[in-house]
Amino acid sequence: MTRAITTGLATRTDLLLTGISQLVTAEGAPARRGQRMGELRVIPDAALAISAGRVQWVGPARDWLPVGGAPARELDLGGAAVVPGLIDPHTHTVWAGDRLADFEARAAKTSYEEILRAGGGIRSTIRSTSAEMPRELARLAAPRIGALLRSGATTIEVKSGYGGSTVAELTMLEAISLLSAEQRAHHGARLLATLLIHLPPPARSSTRPSAPPPESRSRQQFLARVCGELIPAAARRSLASAVDVFVEREAWTVAEAERIFATARSCGLAVKLHSDQFHSIGGVTLAVRAGALSVDHLEAADEEEIRALAHSQTIATLLPGVSLHLGLPAAPGRRLIDAGAAVAVGTDLNPGSSPLFSTAAALGLAVRMNGLTLQEALVAGTVNAACALGLSDRGRLEPGCIADFLVLHSSDWRDLVYVMGANPVAAVWIQGRRWKDDTRRASTSEHVGISSDEPQAETVR
């Protein structure tokens, strides 16, 4: 196939990229579902023209015809493969403290109960995070964003959820807003903030993870503050574009999530869920009924949930880093796609259950653990992940789309999901500009100052 497409606009080309061994992209919005998730356009010996930060033309290099005069600049990529910038639709990148002691204890077969008694577990992350100010939270999170970007993520969703009170959740959202401004100033990734209503307050005088029952007063008061103060404040201050609820036996019920969703909608915010991570308690049905952008996790989803998702517009987001880190069964990715669902993949980067700092690696894990094909994994990490965030202007390299793309170290795009333990991404381009990597390397706790410039052989003509 030697099809070439242009926008038809006679605007001058800012940049023409040639020497592309393969340009690989999904075509057309919206989300790809079922067997269409396996359809990619692979253009050998391709060229990519960019104008005003958007894709102007893409096709076989021999078909390129200058529009509006010769390109202002040409760049030969020397035979590298090019794919769309990845989209990480699910991260908890902002936190303080670390969970290294938990990891060490788990590796020594210590029970979760004992870890909690020793002061570990998610409540410890909530304690450390809620004690910090926005600027410090942003400082801690910046190298983690840098790691995701370096691994190919050009758009990243970041959730609150470790605050545990109205003030602390808003503080987390302010930290995300600071990070977002910093990324914009450095022509980095686009960040999308989500307000996560994570856990009900803990049962009184207990270190156990259990929450008080739905009818308890403290829980009802907490929920009233979420709906009466927190969500309206986040919306009023434009600190979040969506509200996420953790629906699980030890977290929120379907009825409570429904009330939270009603508030979110009335405030003009999109909705999504963490659901079916450990138990199926009706979260998927709620997601479909509420028109949620996505329902994420799904490790415990069975036939009924799979069928419901296959017949809905809601994206099924898989988080294989969690299955790997906790040693739990992976979500039924293969069965979801075979049934006709639209699947996305994210890192779920967080200190407790998924210290996965690479969006590209999440796609490789989805192949190995969730049964996706290589083609499906790329679609799940690009165009479908964009849909999981309500975006349709990115995740593919077609005229008019934002020119976010990756130049790989390899001439074969499949290395993106094949390579383990090294970064297959040689260069990240955002809105037609090469991202300058001046962030520090990420650590789960404090970051260390190691310079990270990876020189790339490029020829400017």
Question: Looking at beta carbons only, is 16 or 245 nearer to Zn ion?
Answer: 245
Cα distances from 112 to residues 89, 283, 325, 328, 349, in angstroms, run 28, 25, 14, 14, 20
Phi, psi of 434 (to 5 degrees): -75, 130
Question: Looking at beta carbons only, is 248 or 348 nearer to Zn ion?
Answer: 348
Determine the Cα–Cα distance for residues 394 and 32; give it in Å rounded to an integer: 14
Nearest approach in angstroms of CB 347 to Zn ion is: 10
Q: DSSP class of residue 331?
A: P
Which pair of structure tokens corresponds to residue 309? Answer: 């998702």
Which pair of structure tokens corresponds to residue 102? Answer: 């938990």
Question: Looking at beta carbons only, is 158 or 406 nearer to Zn ion?
Answer: 158
157 interacts with Zn ion by CB under 5 A:
no
Ranked by CB distance to Zn ion, the top (closest) residue is 348
Which pair of structure tokens corresponds to residue 385? Answer: 């992940």
Nearest approach in angstroms of CB 195 to Zn ion is: 13
CB atoms < 10 A from the CB of 30, how many? 13
Determine the Cα–Cα distance for residues 436 and 414; give it in Å rounded to an integer: 25
- Residues with Cβ within 8 Å of 276's Cβ and at least 6 positions away in sequence, in order, are 283, 284, 295, 297, 298, 299, 300, 301, 305
Strand partners, 155: 87, 190
99 alpha-carbon distance from chain centroid: 21
Phi, psi of 344 (to 5 degrees): -120, 165
Which x/- pattern, by CB under 5 A, does the window 313-352 give for Zn ion?
Answer: -----------------------------------x----
Question: Looking at beta carbons only, is 299 or 348 nearer to Zn ion?
Answer: 348
Question: Looking at beta carbons only, is 348 or 398 nearer to Zn ion?
Answer: 348
Cα dihedral sign, 414-334-364-393: positive
Question: Looking at beta carbons only, is 86 or 199 nearer to Zn ion?
Answer: 199
Nearest approach in angstroms of CB 246 to Zn ion is: 8
Nearest approach in angstroms of CB 108 to Zn ion is: 26
- Residues with Cβ within 8 Å of 70's Cβ and at least 6 positions away in sequence, in order, are 13
Determine the Cα–Cα distance for residues 174 and 180; give it in Å rounded to an integer: 10
Site for Zn ion in 5-64 (CB under 5 A): none
Coil, strand or helix at 191: strand
Nearest approach in angstroms of CB 319 to Zn ion is: 7
Nearest approach in angstroms of CB 92 to Zn ion is: 6
Question: Looking at beta carbons only, is 161 or 399 nearer to Zn ion?
Answer: 161
Which x/- pattern, by CB under 5 A, does the window 427-456 give for Zn ion?
Answer: ------------------------------
Question: Looking at beta carbons only, is 196 or 223 nearer to Zn ion?
Answer: 196
Nearest approach in angstroms of CB 32 to Zn ion is: 23
Question: Looking at beta carbons only, is 14 or 256 nearer to Zn ion?
Answer: 256
- Checking phi first, is residue 310 left (phi over 0); if not, alpha (psi -120 to 50) or beta? alpha
Nearest approach in angstroms of CB 351 to Zn ion is: 12
Question: Looking at beta carbons only, is 102 or 348 nearer to Zn ion?
Answer: 348
Say how many residues touch Zn ion, by CB under 5 A.
1
Q: What is the DSSP string of 186-214?
A: TT--EEEEEEEE--PPPPTT--SSPPPPT
Nearest approach in angstroms of CB 181 to Zn ion is: 24
Nearest approach in angstroms of CB 247 to Zn ion is: 12
Helix residue ranges per DSSP H, 98-165: 100-107, 112-117, 122-130, 134-150
Residues near Zn ion (CB under 5 A) are: 348
